[in-house]
Amino acid sequence: MRSEHGVSLAYGLLKTLGQSIVTGEFDNTIFPTEAELCQRYGASRTVMREAVKMLSAKGLLSSRQRQGTRIEPVDNWNMLDPDVLRWLMERPISNKIFREFAQMRLAIEPTAAALAAEVQDRRAIAQIRQGLEAMITTAGDQDAALQADIDFHVAILKASGNPFFWRLKPLINNALQLSIQLTNKISGHTASIAAHEAILVAIERGDGEAAKKASEALLIESLKLLETASLDA
């Protein structure tokens, strides 16, 4: 049985090694052997193997007998894995991934908002309103306002009644931590309360089409901000 300490070390190494891979530290070079990795990161073989196993499950690495471990092409990475997406967004030049994430949200969230208006799960809708109210009351606290904004969007996934959308919660939650901060920085202000309220009001009154359009308007504005930042870079 693995000790909790061993598991903790493996997760710590997972993050460190995963970030190194995603940021290109090993590009244009042969990936180190297990012994070299252990020496480099001061880890035991058991911990290293566990970390490599987890990174392989995320699509970043593959191990073959007599061929060692190698980094997989980016196309094979699990982009829906919250860790992988976070590491990608933490790269110094990551406007492209932010835009692509915004495009993915545009394909998902308006439909989730429309479904939420149709399903009318009052408890779930109340959580969306709680998110909006928290955005208003914490407007002067950047960190708290950011979390309230995230809670608002995640609550819409729950209110959709679609379990597949709800399964995206870890992905959306982690990625929004970075993407909302970026769009707020570009625009010079925190999220528009009015734009968020328009989505909620449409959901509360059961108007799926209006909820979809309000969600699309909000996300298209975010996408435009990201594209402008890309042009300015």
Pair (160, 204) in one structural domain: yes
Rounded-to-integer distance, Cα 24 and Cα 80, Å: 19
Least confident of 36-40, 115-119, 128-132, 183-187: 183-187
Domain that holds residue 30: 4-75
Rounded-to-integer distance, Cα 132 and Cα 147, Å: 11
Pair (19, 102) in one structural domain: no
The answer to whether the beta carbons of residues 71 and 61 sit under 8 Å apart is yes
Higher pLDDT, 227 or 198: 198
Pair (36, 92) in one structural domain: no
Please report, rounded to a whole number, the percentage of residues in the chain having pLDDT higher than 70: 91
Q: Domain ends where: 28, 60, 75? A: 75
Q: Domain ends where: 20, 54, 75? A: 75
Rounded to two decimals, what is the model's pTM? Answer: 0.74
Rounded-to-integer distance, Cα 49 and Cα 55, Å: 10
Q: Label each residue of 12-29 as H, E or C.
A: HHHHHHHHHHHCCCCCCC
Domain count, the chain: 2
Tell me the per-residue pLDDT of 56-115, one tens digit each, with 9 for 90 and over.
999 999 988 777 889 999 889 988 888 888 888 777 656 777 888 888 889 999 999 999
